[in-house]
Structure 1
C-alpha cells in the first residue's frame, strides 16, 4: 500500500484564495495541476493565473500512484523539464470514482483504482463512524488527495526538486456546491 500514513495525517482545510499562487508576467508553466477527468473545475477560476502558467494533467480520480505511464510522464515532464514551482493535486467532493471505491470489483476499471479501494477499506476500518455518510465520503476524498500528495513527495524527481529548488506540493479539493476549492493544510503549512 503506497500511502498508509495519509490515514493518520492531521490536517485542516482552508478556502483557497485566488491569489494563493501569484501570477507571473511570463507565459510559462509554473504549476502542474493534476485533476479529475470528470470534474467541472476550471483551474483559472480557482487560481488567478494565466492558462499558459498551468500544465494540466487529468485522469479518472486524479490518480498518480497506480503506475500509469501517462501520469508518471506528466510529472517527469513538468518537474524535470518545465521546472514548475508548484504541484497541485485537486480532487473534488462527490467524485464518482470515490463512490466506486466503496465496492471491491474485478472489472478492468477496478485495476485503475485498486489502491484507492484498499485505502478506502483501511479508512473505513480506522476510525469510528460518527458522521453522516456524505461527511464520511467527503473526509475520505480529502484523505485520498493527501495520499496522492504523499506519493508524489516520495518520487525521486519531485524529492530532488523540493530539496534543490523549493518545489511546493499542495492538495486541493473542489466543492461544486460552493464553487470553491479548499486547501488541505498539513502541519500548519
Structure 2
C-alpha cells in the first residue's frame, strides 16, 4: 500500500534544516504573506517555481496549469490574478513556459491523437491551446528539426499567452491606476536549468 510516510519524513527533515539555519524561518510568514511576484507556470513536475528560482515561502504567489495558459474565462486563473494584483499588490508577474512541454506537444499532434476524440476538460484545453498556436504552427511547418520546431512553438505559446495576459482587466486596471507592475514572459530550459526572458512590458508599454 502506498503511504504518505516518505513525503512526511522529507517534510520533517526540511523543516528541521530550516529551523537550524534560522530559528525564526517559519514565524515570519505566519500572520501574512507579502509575495513580490505572481508566477504563472506549467503544471509539469519538472518546473517547480520556488525550486528553480531559489525562492523561499512567502516570496511567490503561484498559479500553474497545463501549458501555462492564460484563459480569461477561467475563474480559477482569473481569481488568482485578481487576488495577486489587487490584494497582495505584487509588483511583478512572471509567465513561464518550458521546453519539452507536453501540452504544446499534444496541441501540435492534434487531431492525430486519441485525445481529439474525447469530450473532456483536457481535450477542450488542448484544443484551445492549438488555436492559440495556429500562427506558430504555420510559421514552423517547414522546419526539418522536430525538436527545434517544438522549442519554437513553446516560445510561441509563451508569447501568445503573454498577449492574453496583458489584456486582462486586472493587469489593465493596475496600469491605468499607475501601479508598478512589470509583466515578463520567460521560458525554462530543462537541460541547463536556466530561465530565458522572451518579452517584458509595464504600464508605459515598453517592450524589449
Q: Does 1:137 align with 2:150?
A: yes
2:138 maps to which residue? 125
Following TM superposition, by how much is the alpha carbon of 1:68 offset from its aligned partner in structure 2, in angstroms? 1.8
Do the aligned residues in 2 keep the contact of 1:32 with 1:56 (CA within 8 Å)? yes
Aligned mates of 1:39, 1:122 — CA distance in 2: 28
Following TM superposition, by how much is the alpha carbon of 1:45 offset from its aligned partner in structure 2, in angstroms? 4.2
1:40 maps to which residue? 46
Following TM superposition, by how much is the alpha carbon of 1:76 offset from its aligned partner in structure 2, in angstroms? 0.9
Q: Does 1:77 align with 2:90?
A: no
Aligned mates of 2:41, 2:73 — CA distance in 1: 17
114-123 or 100-109: which moved more? 114-123
SS at structure 2 position matched to 1:101: helix
Alignment of 1:20-169 (within 5 A): 28-65=34-71, 67-102=73-108, 103-104=110-111, 105-107=116-118, 108=120, 109-126=122-139, 129-163=142-176, 164-169=178-183
2:186 maps to which residue? 172
More strand by share: 1
Spell out, residue by residue over 1:126-185, the C-alpha distance to the aligned partner (whole angstroms, 9 max, x if none).
356245111111011011111111111111110121341121111111111111111103
More helix by share: 2
Q: Does 1:183 align with 2:197?
A: yes
Structure 2: gaps of 5 or more residues: 1-27, 201-205
SS at structure 2 position matched to 1:154: coil
Larger radius of gyration: 2
Between the two structures, name the one with larger relative contact order (CA 8 Å, sep ≥ 6).
1
Do the aligned residues in 2 keep the contact of 1:39 with 1:92 (CA within 8 Å)? no
Aligned mates of 1:41, 1:128 — CA distance in 2: 28
Aligned mates of 2:163, 2:131 — CA distance in 1: 16
Do the aligned residues in 2 keep the contact of 1:31 with 1:87 (CA within 8 Å)? yes
Structure 1: gaps of 5 or more residues: 1-24
Aligned pairs, number: 165
Cα RMSD after superposing both structures = 2.3
